Chains A and B, each alone.
Chain A
Amino acid sequence: MEQLAEVISSWGLWQVTIGQIAMWLIAFVLLYLAIKKGVEPLLLLPIGFGIFMANLPLTGLLEEGGLFYIFYHYGIANELIPPLIFLGLGAMTDFGPVLANPKTLLLGAAAQIGVYGAFLGALLLGFTVYEAACIGIIGGADGPTSIFLSANLAPHMMGSVAVAAYSYMALVPIIIPPIAKMLTTKEERAMVMQMNRWPSKAEKILFPILGALIIILLVPASAPLIAMFMLGNLFMESGAVERLTDVSRNALMNIVTIILGVAVGSTMTAAVFLTPKTIGVFIMGVVAFAFATGFGVLLAKLMNLLVKNKVNPLIGAAGVSAVPMAARVVQNMGMEANQQNYLLMHAMGPNVAGVIGTAVAAGAFITALT
């Protein structure tokens, strides 16, 4: 009888706290959004389940040597997984639109002004300089980069920053249109752009080599992300390593995505997540996103005052790096204003430039703050 009482008293059930139950509910909301609504399911499903498991008592998953500890410690804290995700992204990214119209690279840069605007805004709300940097980078709409920067500067914020980044990426079709419409006239949105030329295979092979050289020489701290991004792209564009291209963008990408999602979810314990700061992250996250979209559009308009071949200012909104969703939203907005307006390929330029820009912004934060 005594033994039975001992077994029953050792159940985790008696250790459950209100905070943990609140985290289960948050986990279930994420699982619902991922499964039922299709909101970034590849990430939100493992993150949601990771949160759920991390908030069960007495599992040992988060203790040194525990499974989730290993995922987090070796995968994220050691900066392994975000660069591997970038390898896969590189093997899926076509830089053709950027090479065809190089000035769209600057539109990817413009969106990063929003990142720094939100960084200053987060400081006003009382976040530390490290936390503010992680909140600002949400505006870049790049999940792996947000996680990479949080791991470097504010690991305690990683869960909320990652969930905010992926949630807002999924909300691109809702966030971009009102801002882009507010900053453009119907005539501007209806402007048709011409594709001047299509880059050669040689240019596409040279780009990842020259790109890595320039970016890493100027911002060395961005090397882990940029090096893998460009390597993945070189795999694809060279056409010489089909197997490596395939494994980078499929098998490897899928494996590291599972570990990344679970590890990020496991950082969201009740004690860390249920704080007023989390609300601040979500508020400033959407501000960062809005700033990034707005600055992209404004720079495109400014560019039109200075260059001969004008661009449709809408493509500036694709400078946030939610690839390819931001470009698709721009395409839809262009067609809404003019049925003959096909902006997708033009918007892909600032869109992929935004990926580079956000990685560089993260590197610049690390350089300045560590």
Chain B
Amino acid sequence: MVDWGQATMVAVSGVVSVFAVLFVLQIVVTITGSVTESLAKKQTEKQTG
């Protein structure tokens, strides 16, 4: 006999975990990208200026 309450919780918690992980990762990747890009820009400006 399947415990549908538990099964649904497994599915919902799984989907939430996957989205939470990849959403946080997306934010971190976006921030890291912006920071490294601006640092690179500043360095280029320093060298040319």
A and B form one complex: yes
A residues lining the B interface (CB < 8 Å): 98-99, 102-103, 105-106, 108-109, 112-113, 115-116, 119-120, 123, 129, 132-133, 197, 199-200, 202-203, 206-207, 210-211, 214-215, 218-219, 353, 356-357, 360-361, 363-365, 367-369
For A112, list chain B residues within 8 Å (CB).
14-15, 18
A-B contact pairs, 10 of them (CB 8 A): A106-B23, A123-B4, A129-B3, A200-B40, A206-B36, A210-B25, A211-B25, A218-B21, A361-B14, A364-B17
B11 in complex: contacting residue of A98, A109, A119, CB < 8 Å: A119
Check A214 against B18 for contact (C-beta < 8 Å): no
Q: Which residue of A lies closest to B11 (CB)?
A: A116
Check A123 against B29 for contact (C-beta < 8 Å): no
On whether A368 and B21 interact (CB within 8 A), knowing A98-B29, A197-B37, A207-B29, the answer reads no
Check A369 against B18 for contact (C-beta < 8 Å): no
For B19, list chain A residues within 8 Å (CB).
106, 109
Check A102 against B21 for contact (C-beta < 8 Å): no
B17 in complex: contacting residue of A123, A132, A219, CB < 8 Å: A219
A98-B29, A102-B25, A210-B29 are known; give 18 further A-B pairs, CB within 8 A: A99-B29, A102-B30, A106-B26, A109-B23, A112-B14, A112-B18, A116-B14, A119-B7, A119-B14, A129-B7, A199-B36, A210-B32, A211-B25, A356-B21, A357-B22, A365-B14, A367-B17, A369-B10
Check A123 against B7 for contact (C-beta < 8 Å): yes
For A133, list chain B residues within 8 Å (CB).
10
B13 in complex: contacting residue of A108, A109, A120, A368, CB < 8 Å: A368
For A206, list chain B residues within 8 Å (CB).
32, 36
Check B18 against A364 for contact (C-beta < 8 Å): yes
Check B26 against A102 for contact (C-beta < 8 Å): yes
Q: Which residue of A lies closest to B7 (CB)?
A: A123
CB proximity of B11 to chain A, nearest CB, Å:
4
For B26, list chain A residues within 8 Å (CB).
102-103, 105-106
Interface residues of B in 1-49 (CB under 8 A from A): 2-4, 6-11, 13-15, 17-30, 32-33, 36-37, 40
A217 to B26 alpha-carbon distance, docked (Å): 15
For A115, list chain B residues within 8 Å (CB).
14
A203 to B21 alpha-carbon distance, docked (Å): 19
Label chain B's interface by main secondary structure: helix
Q: Which residue of A lies closest to B23 (CB)?
A: A106
B6 in complex: contacting residue of A99, A102, A129, A218, CB < 8 Å: A129
A158 to B26 alpha-carbon distance, docked (Å): 33
CB proximity of B31 to chain A, nearest CB, Å:
9
Check A99 against B10 for contact (C-beta < 8 Å): no
CB proximity of A303 to chain B, nearest CB, Å:
12
For A105, list chain B residues within 8 Å (CB).
22-23, 25-26, 29
Check B14 against A200 for contact (C-beta < 8 Å): no
Check A102 against B33 for contact (C-beta < 8 Å): yes
B22 in complex: contacting residue of A106, A116, A202, A207, CB < 8 Å: A106
For B7, list chain A residues within 8 Å (CB).
119-120, 123, 129, 132
For A119, list chain B residues within 8 Å (CB).
7, 10-11, 14
Check B17 against A360 for contact (C-beta < 8 Å): yes
A25 to B11 alpha-carbon distance, docked (Å): 37
Q: Which residue of A lies closest to B27 (CB)?
A: A102
For B4, list chain A residues within 8 Å (CB).
123
CB proximity of B33 to chain A, nearest CB, Å:
6
- Pick the most buried of A133, A363, A364: most chain B CB atoms within 10 A of its CB: A364
Check A123 against B13 for contact (C-beta < 8 Å): no
Check A360 against B33 for contact (C-beta < 8 Å): no
CB proximity of B32 to chain A, nearest CB, Å:
6
For B36, list chain A residues within 8 Å (CB).
199-200, 202-203, 206
A202 to B26 alpha-carbon distance, docked (Å): 17
Check B10 against A199 for contact (C-beta < 8 Å): no
A202 to B24 alpha-carbon distance, docked (Å): 20
Check B29 against A357 for contact (C-beta < 8 Å): no
